[in-house]
Amino acid sequence: MNQEVVLDKSFAKADNGARYLIIAFLVWPFLGFLLALRNLRGRLNGVIIYLFFLLYGLTFVINPAMDGQRYANNLKAAYNKSVSYDEFLPSLYAENGSVDLLEPGLVFLISRVTSEHYLLFVCFAAIFGFFYLKSIKIAYQQYIESRNFNALVFFLFFPWIIPIFEINGFRFWTASWMFFYSSYMILVYGNKKYLLLALSVCFVHFSFLSLNIVLLLYLLLGDRKNIYFIVSILTLFISELDLQGLRELAASFDGSLSTKANRYLHEDYVEYVTDLNQSAAWFMKLYTPLLFYFVLAHLIFVYIKLRKITVPKSFLSLFCFSLLVLSFSNLSSLIPSGARFRSVFMLFSISMLVYFYSSIYKMPKLNWFVIICAFPFLLKVLISIRVGADTLNTVLFMPGPVIATMYNLPFPVKDWLF
């Protein structure tokens, strides 16, 4: 009888907590979002967080200097064109068309309804946010296996590798989370049904066709940590790629795939990206190599430990694939815009380190090696917030009724804080 009373009280408490969370979100969405963050395992908490992502998309501020402006322009151009569904699909593979399906497909469908960008960015946030939240949850599930400060440092940094603000560059960054999530499910949980999702990511951004090949190569070769480690270190010392040879290879492709590849390898684009990187602020130039080499040092540390201990197959698979992605990113970073794959490498390596410190190398005290990493981590978070402030609308932090009436008014946080 006493046990039934205790269960009834616990269910009543849970119902009250859910009720308060819903009310908080409806009255003040930002408060509901913060409350939901306290328990990432809760189903309702996940729904609240996801809905807040949608509100971010709804209130998204277009910055003329960012990719979001191009998406908005594409939507208006599509709205003003009289194109049927039958005409749209063939145009994707025309000579000047796109090999990507998701973004142009969304633009076309929404252009049948409106030319305003709000609905488009809600859809962007819905897709990006789904895989973003799913990935955070699996990293959190790994972290709570054995909570400790070392694993916590890496888990807290994980969502900031590619934050929600990156719907501004929807195609590549959405593809990054999709590829990570599907690959993680294959590597750690052995769920091969996610292979189809992983292989379809190239239709979100064509460049992931190369990572699809890396994934298939891993599935063919298996866990060969010594070989992968040697290759990953050797590729660090390659300082130049034959871009002319890559252009000739791209020319052998058919249709829009060739056009797309040549666009990224063209001499003018190479010069543009080089100038852009050279003109970046000092802190942008500082944090990228700092972050990379600190994580690389951790991978070497993990490799040394693995020579002495036996680890679960799931961890070994994640570690080995992280090394393969590292090798690929070392090479791709020598190509204009290819350095973005370093962020994909970070997703795998940081999630692997969460796994390592929570389940393999458990330490109750904070490791000095991890403490050193906190500096580049914090710098990356601050830079992400600063960049996100351009598209983050002040309206998003207001009560629900205000958001409902003022969502289309651009008040970027940047104007208030920076």
Q: Can you tell me which residue has the tokens 């205790």?
A: 6
Above 70 in pLDDT, residue 227? Answer: yes
Which spans in 190-281 are helix H? 195-200, 208-221, 225-235, 243-251, 255-265, 267-278
What span, in angstroms and rounded, lies between the C-alpha atoms of 350 and 292? 11
**What is the CB-side half-sphere exposure of residue 354 using CA atoms within 13 A?**
26
What span, in angstroms and rounded, lies between the C-alpha atoms of 63 and 76? 16
Q: Mean pLDDT of all residues in the chain?
A: 85
Question: How far, CA to CA in Å, does 374 sit from each of 98, 113, 279, 341, 378?
Answer: 40, 46, 26, 22, 6
Contacts of 209 (CB under 8 A, 6+ apart): 202
What span, in angstroms and rounded, lies between the C-alpha atoms of 245 and 247? 5
Q: What is the DSSP letter of 338?
A: G
Max avg pLDDT among 97-111, 134-148, 257-271 = 134-148
Contacts of 128 (CB under 8 A, 6+ apart): 53, 164, 166, 167, 170, 173, 174, 177
Q: How high is the pLDDT of residue 279?
A: 56
Higher per-residue confidence, 356 vs 273:
356
Question: How far, CA to CA in Å, does 317 sit from each of 286, 306, 352, 383?
Answer: 31, 12, 10, 32
Above 60 in pLDDT, residue 269? Answer: no
Q: How high is the pLDDT of residue 336?
A: 72
The type of residue at 215 is L
Above 70 in pLDDT, residue 184? Answer: yes
Above 80 in pLDDT, residue 318? Answer: yes
Q: How high is the pLDDT of residue 260?
A: 59
Above 60 in pLDDT, residue 258? Answer: no
- Mean pLDDT for the stretch of residues 29-54: 94
| Angle 245-247-248 from CA coordinates, rounded to 5° | 65
Above 50 in pLDDT, residue 356? Answer: yes
Q: Can you tell me which residue has the tokens 């207001």?
A: 398
Domain locations along the chain: 1-61+125-137+392-418, 64-115, 146-391
What span, in angstroms and rounded, lies between the C-alpha atoms of 194 and 186? 6
Q: How high is the pLDDT of residue 54?
A: 97
**How do residues 144-176 score in pLDDT, each as one tens digit?**
988 889 999 999 999 999 999 999 999 999 999
Phi-psi region of 255 (alpha: psi -120 to 50; beta: other; left: phi over 0): left
Question: How far, CA to CA in Å, does 382 sit from each of 27, 31, 349?
Answer: 29, 22, 21
Tokens matching residue 332:
């791709």
Contacts of 229 (CB under 8 A, 6+ apart): 303, 323
What span, in angstroms and rounded, lies between the C-alpha atoms of 306 and 274? 39
Q: How high is the pLDDT of residue 401?
A: 84
Cα torsion through 321, 342, 337, 215, rounded to 10: 10
Is the distance from CB of 150 to CB of 157 less than 8 angstroms? no
